[in-house]
Amino acid sequence: MRYLKLLLIFVLLSFAMAPEMKLKRVAKDIYMVRGVDALPSVENRGFMSNAFAVLTKEGWVVIDALSTPELSKEFVDNLYRVKKAPIKYAIITHYHPDHYYGAKTYKDLGATIIAHEKLLEFYRSGDAQQTLQAQKERFKGLFDKVVLVPPDRTVKDRLTLKVGGKTFELISMTPAHTNSDLVVYMPEEKVLFAGDLLYMNRIPFMGDRNASSKGWVEALRKIRDMDIKVVLAGHNEPMGKESIDFTLGYINFLRDNIKRLKEEGKSLDEIKELLKNNPYAKYVMYDVFHNANVFKIYTELDMEE
């Protein structure tokens, strides 16, 4: 009896904790859902990233696929409540699970899936399947329904899509957060869908094995030259161009300090300790990502020398 009571409390709590998906209109014809600031878990259903959709005269163009087919299905149900129009294109900003794993929902609805050519390479090499297997083990139950799909079209440098009166410029920004980063720019609206390249008051994740802090800095300089009014990224509320300075500030802070301390002959552990109290420690995801970022840049600087 006591066990049952505990179980009931646990079930009620996990319902209370599961973040609700709420579609928000962020500009004319542009919608988003906002995931929580956390690592994926069964409790948050892996809903810890954003997805976006643009309504055109021909139908929807969606950007990113969330972590699971359950989540992307719920996202589409929300879109259909705004307008029951076909999902024409689904653009995947990079190969991370929280942006890619829900893609099959779109495919089943007839959408053309577009991603960087490196994502297709990742899929074909078998690495994608292996990563999924590892994620299934690590987060028991969360990714059980995930079926990976390859992109139907790929981008090497740049691709311009005209859909139902709207223009989408897909631009490669690799290597940066990963080796498969795409941003999507709408020139008339001056909106940039930035994937995981831009943040405000949140620590970026630079620990991916294909990440490059040097390439990321270059990507941010390119983005700075673009005429942008609104930045819509994978893990923040809508932002402005100040997000470029925030992200660049953190990356350069790490690169400059780690470089200096390495030249002084400090070890990785000493560097971690010396950089412990820093102005970024108060920001979201710092405890989860910061040390991984220090490690990544430390090893990256070895290669640059």
**Contact residues for Zn ion, defined by CB under 5 A:** 96, 196
Q: How far is the CB of 177 from Zn ion (least distance, A)?
A: 6
Question: Quick one: how far is CA 262 from the chain centroid?
Answer: 31
Q: How far is the CB of 83 from Zn ion (least distance, A)?
A: 29
Closer by beta carbon to Zn ion, 171 or else 261: 171
Question: Shortest Cβ distance from residue 202 to Zn ion (Å)?
Answer: 12
What are the angstrom distances between the C-alpha of 117 and each of 140, 158, 282? 30, 11, 37
Q: Which is nearer to Zn ion, 48 or 228 (CB)?
A: 48
**Helix or strand or coil: residue 176?**
coil
16 Ramachandran zone, left/alpha/beta (phi>0; psi -120 to 50): alpha
Opening angle at CA 186, ends 181 and 190, nearest 5: 110
Cβ proximity to Zn ion: between 70 and 196 the closer is: 196
Nearest approach, Cβ of residue 187 and Zn ion (Å): 25
Q: How far apart are CA 43 and CA 65, in angstroms?
A: 19
Q: How far is the CB of 287 from Zn ion (least distance, A)?
A: 18
Residue whose CB is less far from Zn ion, 27 or 38: 38
3-state secondary structure of 32: strand
**Tokens standing for 49?**
């990233």
Report the residue number, 74 or 196, with the smaller CB distance to Zn ion: 196
